[in-house]
Structure 1
Amino acid sequence: MPQRRLPKVHDLAPLMQFKKPSLDFKANRLAKAQTVYDLRRIARRRTPKAAFDYTEGAAEAEISLGRARQAFEDIQFNPSILRNVAEVSTGWDVLGAPVALPFGIAPTGFTRMMQTEGEIAGAHAAAAHGIPFSLSTMGTTGIEDVKAANPDGRNWFQLYMWKDRDRSMALVDRAAKAGFDTLLVTVDVPVAGARLRDKRNGFSIPPQLTLATVANAIPRPWWWYDFLTTEPLSFASLDRWSGTVGELLDTMFDPTVDFDDLRWIRDQWPGKVVVKGIQSLDDAKKVAEVGVDGIILSNHGGRQLDRAPIPFHLLPEIVREVGSEYEVHLDTGIMSGADIVAAIALGARFTLLGRAYLYGLMAGGEDGVNRMIEIVGEQVARTMRLLGVNALEELGPQHVTQLVRLAPRIHTSLSPTP
């Protein structure tokens, strides 16, 4: 039996180092966040339901989004051991210019509705971390204001082709004159998807006050204080709107846009052109013929066609078939640095984060976006070290196995007759 004795003060002192208290409540809550999902939980507590659901939700039954996230979980990493990974490089060139990390901030609409610092917070954070910031046609900060917030960094402009072509191209001209280096042409929006959460919440611009929204706002007074005491909500692309989000989108999206329009846009833009919303190998090949600089495999975060193809599943084949003709980027379902490393290993040159960015924004404004980038960047570097690689260029298909959960069913009635 061990001999017992009373503990001495000098023995206890090293074991009782109390953390210095801080009254910076925002810094305290952000410091506790270790994953994007932690930021999401903070965001949900601090944001009214209608605004949070606009970020969180997807189309119809939200199957596309669930499958996209599941695809990243259904992988196996294959590490190499006994490699010197004291130093790792998480950057390389994307569309002809360097990035410090293999991800950027995706274009998001109605951003200041989520948190009043909006796109300015995202642009500042992107500049601080050496990654691109993308401004949406449906963004809530002007093109020139985003450039002023990120004067020396990389700014990308995302374009929805409107029925009013002159108005669309006026935006393109403004972005070019402001020095945006890349145009993201989104092609998966002939009409707005059925975003049922927004319809059930009565989500509109400006917000509709009902008994339910008031009751939901009571425990979140800081959100309403920020919303009501800052500049009124405005848009990068239109002066004002009174109606639901879906009605706004349906007045803007043009179901007649085709490949000739894409060629025309390509000729109008002086910088890099990337097509966002590719969901098949056939379309990836057709876009290559137009002569763009890159594509983004995306199903719009699951917010357009429910049960759409899973971008991460499409990635290896499309890279193999057309990766030599342009850069292949990826979005939808990415929630960690490990997801990004898996995408790079299977051939993606770059990735975009939308919901993860907004979770950080809602959790703590610009500081929250910085925290999101820090978390995901640390995850990228750690995953690379654990795989035994020093640079993104060393990642390859040998590092990732995509496990099969969903596979196409072969109908015997369609099999050839022997």
Structure 2
Amino acid sequence: MRFPLRSSVSRGYTTPVEAGSTGAKLDRTPAEKGRSPPRRFYAGPSLERARTIDDLRAMAHRRLPAFAVEYLEGGAEEEATLARNLAAFASYRFLPRALVDVSSRDQSISLFDRAMPLPFAIAPTGLNGLFRNKADVLLARAAAEAGIPFIQSTMSNDRMEDVAAVPNLRHWWQLYVFGERSIRDTLVARAERAHCEALVLTIDAQFYGDREWEQRRFAHPGRLSLGSILEAALHPLWAATTLSGGMPSFANALDFLPKDRRGFFESAFWIRANMDHALDWDEAARLRDLWPRMFLIKGLLNPDDVQRAVSIGADGVILSNHGGRQLDWTVAALDVLQEARRRVGARLTLIVDGGVRRGTDVLKALALGADAALVGRATLYGLAAAGQNGVTRAIDIFREEIDRDLGLLGARSVKDLGPDFLTR
């Protein structure tokens, strides 16, 4: 079976990418004439041979069944937002500085008055139990070792308290608002008791995006099609490392679900159907008042809304279109970053996510005014490919690329970056 590895419109190339049993063909580049020289992403078992995030992606595609690949990769409707996230980064070019002493380079930043060695964190992603058993604990361990925050989703398949127990973790909790008010308040109280550093309120998922291709893998909501089940049976390594304890559950939401809706897919569809459509600025302000530590709002794209977040006392905003999985045809976070920064100045921490696949993507976001970037699918590729070691490899790839690209850009530190390093 073949899966797309990169949209043909994502980076300006014109030919599709295909994954086979031994690797994946690259988008056509100017270095190729016909099929020469042959170029394929690495999709074998050795992490040492994974040179890029796209290598980890090819490895993940080879290991996962089709329905899990579709959930990992898919976007809403025509997937125009999904493509825009990548194209937004591709629309900028660097203006490197020459004859700068870059014998030492520094990619460390300070985020909420705490130093961190890398300018990115791991984004909240749900249903990670589809890719590995104890997936969120593995992501958290890799993040803790790297000294970067991990944002755990309400739709995590590991208990909040189990993730909080990871030593030296900067643990942020992402809140989905569903069901009665008592549910969100209980989750906020648990996050406080677990000593989570920050609460991240996601506001762009009160309706579930129409991910058409994902739905084709199901016979009806909550039940995979027979074809999907049979195809999954052809992936014994995935089953052994993911389903050894049975199908995952939504450990942090389980107590709030009807007893007959606690299966993996059934509970996911129940939560989607019970999102609070009345979520508004008043409720966001109430949650801000309820939470004693850092409070961020995730999912804003309109600069007017970013400005309003200041007025309710938010400490930060994550500019995001939910990885292209909610409203189609929206702008990318990068498209509104400069205007958002102009509106709020230094009063608000601004973080961007969506489409971050390269160290150069992180550098572009920082140059345009972001305090940090989030990586989501990139670390999930590593997780699906090789568990915690795969996540660590993804983080290391970003670290290596950022370090090398700072030198090539003529910048000693990420703190030196600004819009003068970029042109359209």
Q: 1:394 to 1:242 in 2, by over 3 A?
A: closer
Residue type matched to 2:228 in 1?
A: T
The alignment's TM-score, normalised by the length of structure 1, stands at: 0.86
Query: 1:184·1:274 contact (CA, 8 Å) conserved in 2?
Result: yes
SS of 1:307's equivalent? coil
Q: How many residues align?
A: 376
Equivalent residue for 1:146, pick from 148, 157, 163: 163
Question: For residues 280-359 of structure 1, what are the structure 2 equivalents within 5 Å?
Answer: 280-359=302-381
Query: 1:103·1:351 contact (CA, 8 Å) conserved in 2?
Result: yes
Aligned partners of 2:219, 2:62: CA distance in 1, in Å?
A: 18
- Residue 113, structure 1, aligned to residue 130, structure 2: yes
Aligned partners of 1:373, 1:332: CA distance in 2, in Å?
A: 16
Q: 1:225 to 1:86 in 2, by over 3 A?
A: same
Equivalent residue for 1:261, pick from 275, 283, 287: 283
Equivalent residue for 1:165, pick from 178, 181, 187: 181
Equivalent residue for 1:226, pick from 226, 234, 241: 241
Aligned partners of 1:327, 1:197: CA distance in 2, in Å?
A: 35
Question: For residues 14-413 of structure 1, what are the structure 2 equivalents within 5 Å?
Answer: 29-149=46-166, 151-202=167-218, 208=223, 210-230=225-245, 232-239=247-254, 240-241=262-263, 243=265, 247-401=269-423, 403=424
Q: 1:396 to 1:304 in 2, by over 3 A?
A: same
The alignment's TM-score, normalised by the length of structure 2, stands at: 0.85
| 1:117, distance to aligned residue in structure 2 (A) | 3.6
Higher relative contact order (CA 8 A, sep 6+): 1
Aligned partners of 2:240, 2:219: CA distance in 1, in Å?
A: 19
| 1:197, distance to aligned residue in structure 2 (A) | 2.1
Amino-acid identity (%): 37
SS of 1:229's equivalent? coil
Query: 2:247·2:264 contact (CA, 8 Å) conserved in 1?
Result: no
Residue type matched to 1:37 in 2?
A: D
Aligned residue in 2 for 1:409: none
Query: 2:204·2:299 contact (CA, 8 Å) conserved in 1?
Result: yes
Query: 2:217·2:224 contact (CA, 8 Å) conserved in 1?
Result: no
Q: 1:60 to 1:356 in 2, by over 3 A?
A: same
Query: 2:218·2:225 contact (CA, 8 Å) conserved in 1?
Result: no
**Structure 1: any 5+ residue segments left out of the alignment?**
1-25, 404-418
Q: 1:218 to 1:246 in 2, by over 3 A?
A: closer
| 1:212, distance to aligned residue in structure 2 (A) | 1.3
After superposition, the CA RMSD in angstroms is 2.0
Aligned partners of 1:354, 1:157: CA distance in 2, in Å?
A: 15
Between 89-98 and 340-349, the greater mean CA deviation after superposition: 89-98
Aligned partners of 2:337, 2:315: CA distance in 1, in Å?
A: 17
Aligned partners of 1:141, 1:152: CA distance in 2, in Å?
A: 18
Query: 1:115·1:361 contact (CA, 8 Å) conserved in 2?
Result: yes
Aligned partners of 2:251, 2:421: CA distance in 1, in Å?
A: 42
| 1:342, distance to aligned residue in structure 2 (A) | 0.4
SS of 2:46's equivalent? helix
SS of 2:216's equivalent? helix
| 1:196, distance to aligned residue in structure 2 (A) | 1.2
Residue type matched to 1:276 in 2?
A: K
| 1:268, distance to aligned residue in structure 2 (A) | 0.8
- Pick the structure with greater CA Rg: 1
Query: 2:333·2:353 contact (CA, 8 Å) conserved in 1?
Result: yes
| 1:143, distance to aligned residue in structure 2 (A) | 0.5
Aligned partners of 1:97, 1:356: CA distance in 2, in Å?
A: 24
| 1:219, distance to aligned residue in structure 2 (A) | 3.6
Query: 2:141·2:169 contact (CA, 8 Å) conserved in 1?
Result: no
Aligned partners of 1:203, 1:236: CA distance in 2, in Å?
A: 25
Residue type matched to 2:366 in 1?
A: I
Aligned partners of 2:345, 2:213: CA distance in 1, in Å?
A: 37
SS of 1:179's equivalent? coil
Aligned partners of 2:225, 2:209: CA distance in 1, in Å?
A: 25
Aligned partners of 1:47, 1:385: CA distance in 2, in Å?
A: 37
| 1:380, distance to aligned residue in structure 2 (A) | 1.1
| 1:245, distance to aligned residue in structure 2 (A) | 7.3
| 1:198, distance to aligned residue in structure 2 (A) | 2.0
Aligned partners of 1:280, 1:228: CA distance in 2, in Å?
A: 41
Residue type matched to 1:33 in 2?
A: A
Q: Deviations over 1:78-122 (max 9, x none)?
A: 111111112111111112211111111111101111222400110
| 1:288, distance to aligned residue in structure 2 (A) | 1.3
Q: 1:138 to 1:271 in 2, by over 3 A?
A: same
| 1:27, distance to aligned residue in structure 2 (A) | 9.3
Q: Deviations over 1:96-155 (max 9, x none)?
A: 211111111111101111222400110010011110011001011101000112x32200
Aligned partners of 1:93, 1:204: CA distance in 2, in Å?
A: 47
Aligned partners of 1:243, 1:228: CA distance in 2, in Å?
A: 14
Aligned partners of 1:289, 1:111: CA distance in 2, in Å?
A: 34
SS of 1:183's equivalent? strand
| 1:386, distance to aligned residue in structure 2 (A) | 0.9
